Amino acid sequence: MLVEMVIDGMDVPEDGPSTDHAAELLLRSADGDQAAFARLYDMLAPRVFGLILRVLVDRAQSEEVLQEVFLEVWQSASSFAPKKGQGRSWVLTIAHRRAVDRVRSSQASSDRDVRAGYRDLASPPEGVAEQVELRIEGRRVARALSVLPEAQREAITLSYYGGYSQSEIAALVGAPLGTIKTRMRDGLTRLRSEMGVTS
């Protein structure tokens, strides 16, 4: 919140956390205000990059997608409708869609998601047997994830590998919170079934 109020000493009004500074900057960018767009980039780029990196895992590809996202934001800022949602959510939705498109085109989305999850484990395996076991289990998870409908797979991946709450996922994918909860519940039930987990 403080960051949004002190962006390069810009003349953003300090009317509290309810002010949607990203929306204001988007509207000014839509009018061709390059300075407003630069401030929007400075404000949102770290969060956008974090989202993209969580989905893609690969830093170089994430940097490329970050540039694509902000190019699209600049080109389509006029289509942003403040009455339909917040500016930050609009930009994050574009980023999420771009990242998912990049994953699909690389043909290794499931493997990447599993690798990202194991990279976050607190302690690495101590022996070769444990490494082999983790790889086998990782392949089982990847296969089980691949049979889920796309919407369920996306919600589970963002939650368990991306670390997003159900509310954040709803904002990212533009779906109601209840829909996200249903997708996750049904997806996890199907995942347990696919992996032969009984409980």
Instruction: Give residue-wise pLDDT tens across range 84-139.
Output: 889 999 999 999 999 888 877 765 445 545 566 556 554 555 566 666 666 666 67
pLDDT at 49 over 90: yes
**Angle, nearest 10°, between helix axes 21-30 and 87-106?**
80
The mean pLDDT of 37-62, rounded to a whole number, is 92
Distance CA 132, CA 127 (A): 9
Residues 158-185 pLDDT 10s = 887 777 888 888 888 888 999 989 988 9
pLDDT for position 189: 86
Do the Cβ atoms of 156 and 187 come closer than 8 Å? yes
If one compares 163 and 61, the residue with the highest pLDDT of the two is 61
Do the Cβ atoms of 175 and 96 come closer than 8 Å? no
pLDDT for position 6: 31
Sign of the four-CA dihedral 156, 161, 164, 169: negative
Distance CA 177, CA 171 (A): 8
pLDDT for position 3: 32
Q: Which domains does the chain have, with CATH numbers?
A: 1-107 (1.10.1740.10), 108-199 (1.10.10.10)
pLDDT for position 33: 94
Under the banding of pLDDT at 50, 70 and 90, the label for residue 5 is very low
Under the banding of pLDDT at 50, 70 and 90, the label for residue 67 is very high
The DSSP result for 98-132, as a single string, is HHHHHHHHHT-HHHHHHHHHHHT-SS--SSHHHHH
Q: Which two tokens stand for residue 29?
A: 């960018």
Mean pLDDT across the chain, nearest whole number?
78
